[in-house]
C-alpha cells in the first residue's frame, strides 16, 4: 500500500534494492541476524553458503568433541594441516 502511514514511517516501495549499513540488499536476498549482528546472503549464493555452513558446523562439533576428549586446543582451532587431515579421515570413516 504505497503511501500508507504507520508509526511515523512511510511505505514507499516493495521489492526494490536498498542500501543498509553500506551494503546493497536486493529482493530475495536473505538476511540473518542475532544478538551479535546481521549478514546478508545474496540469493544467488544461498545454496553454496548453506552447504559451507553445514560443513563448518560439522567440523566445529568434531573439534569440540576432540577438546572434550582431552586434545589440546592448539592446532585444533584454527585447524592446522594435521588437524584437517584427521578431520578428513573422520569424515571419510563416517561415509
Q: Please count the structural domains in the chain.
A: 1
Residue 66 in any domain: the answer is yes
Judge contact between 38 and 31, C-beta under 8 A.
yes
pLDDT at 72 over 90: yes
Residue 4 in any domain: the answer is no
Average pLDDT for 54-74: 96
Residue 28 in any domain: the answer is no
Residue 15 in any domain: the answer is no
pTM: 0.69
pLDDT value, residue 10? 77
CA dihedral 76, 78, 84, 87 (to 10 degrees): 50
H or E element in which residue 24 lies: strand 23-25
pLDDT at 7 over 70: no
Residue 85 in any domain: the answer is yes
Dihedral sign, Cα of residue 52, residue 56, residue 62, residue 65:
negative
Q: What is the DSSP letter of 73?
A: S
Q: Which structural domain range is residue 55 located in? A: 46-94
pLDDT at 42 over 80: yes
Amino acid at each position: 500500500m504505497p503511501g500508507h502511514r504507520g508509526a511515523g514511517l512511510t511505505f514507499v516501495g516493495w521489492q526494490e534494492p536498498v542500501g543498509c549499513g553500506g551494503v546493497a540488499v536486493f529482493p530475495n536476498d536473505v538476511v540473518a541476524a542475532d544478538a551479535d549482528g546481521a549478514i546478508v546472503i545474496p540469493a544467488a549464493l544461498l545454496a553454496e553458503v548453506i552447504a559451507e555452513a553445514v560443513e563448518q558446523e560439522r567440523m566445529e562439533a568434531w573439534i569440540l568433541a576432540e577438546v572434550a576428549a582431552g586434545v589440546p586446543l592448539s592446532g585444533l582451532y584454527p585447524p592446522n594441516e594435521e588437524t584437517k587431515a584427521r578431520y578428513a579421515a573422520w569424515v571419510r570413516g563416517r561415509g
